[in-house]
């Protein structure tokens, strides 16, 4: 644990760090290690402060817990803005479970995709026997063939991507 008292002409600051365990002084600038580390990494803090100042939710208060709460609220809004593009991309990924995609849509307030009329016409309300395996296996299905509109089980079909369907 290192503590450094930094005194400027206008103010004095007391810095405490559990990361820096020795009072190392930089030979070039003649400053303690804690200050040189802060100066190297303060760009991230400054950018967060700048972005949070654009949408401030806090009020001036003398109560420090309230001030910290509003600061955490500002940073969480900023984090949501940063993550929003990534979440929009994940909605379209089919390898993610439907529950997660639904949760992301609810968080982003994106309406659920309604199936088109072509897709709803290919799904039966009541299951029927597959017309290919009707004589020997009696497989039940709720899907229809795209071309002949006969009931067909998933074992009788091959998955086709949208590009291949457009080439047919």
Q: Where are the domains of the chain?
A: 2-54, 55-113, 117-167
- Rounded to whole angstroms, the Cα distance separating 138 from 74 reads 61
The mean predicted confidence, pLDDT, of the chain is 77
Query: Which residues are bridge partners to 129 per DSSP?
Result: 140
Percent of the chain with pLDDT over 90: 2
Range of lowest pLDDT (6-10, 14-18, 130-134)? 6-10
Instruction: Give residue 32's pLDDT.
Output: 78
Give 26-70 pLDDT, tens digit per residue: 778 777 777 788 788 777 777 877 777 776 676 777 888 888 888
Range of lowest pLDDT (19-28, 71-80, 106-115)? 19-28
Instruction: Give residue 66's pLDDT.
Output: 86
Burial of 20 (0-12, 13-18, 19+ CB in 10 A): buried
Q: What confidence category does residue 158 fall into, taking pLDDT thresholds of 50, 70 and 90?
A: low
| Residue linked to tokens 């955490």 | 72
Instruction: Give residue 153's pLDDT.
Output: 81
Is the distance from CB of 50 to CB of 56 less than 8 angstroms? no
* Exposure string for 111-142, b = 16+ CB within 10 A, e = fewer: eeeeeeeeeeeeeeeeebebbbbeeeeebebe
pLDDT higher than threshold 60 for residue 125: yes
Q: What is the pTM of this model?
A: 0.42
- Rounded to whole angstroms, the Cα distance separating 151 from 124 reads 8
């Amino acid at each position: 644990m290192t503590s450094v008292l930094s005194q400027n002409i206008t103010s004095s600051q007391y810095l405490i760090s559990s990361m820096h365990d020795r009072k190392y002084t930089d030979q070039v600038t003649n400053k303690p290690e804690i200050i040189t580390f802060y100066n190297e990494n303060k760009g991230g803090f400054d950018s967060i402060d700048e972005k949070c100042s654009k949408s401030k939710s806090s009020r001036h208060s003398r109560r420090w817990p309230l001030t910290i709460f509003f600061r955490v609220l500002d940073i969480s809004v900023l984090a949501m803005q940063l993550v929003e593009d990534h979440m929009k991309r994940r909605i379209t990924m089919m390898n993610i479970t439907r529950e997660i995609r639904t949760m992301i849509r609810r968080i982003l307030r994106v309406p659920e995709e309604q199936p088109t009329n072509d897709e709803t016409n290919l799904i039966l309300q009541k299951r029927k026997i597959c017309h290919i395996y009707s004589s020997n296996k009696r497989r039940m299905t709720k899907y229809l063939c795209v071309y002949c509109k006969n009931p067909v089980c998933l074992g009788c079909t091959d998955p086709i991507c949208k590009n291949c369907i457009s080439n047919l």
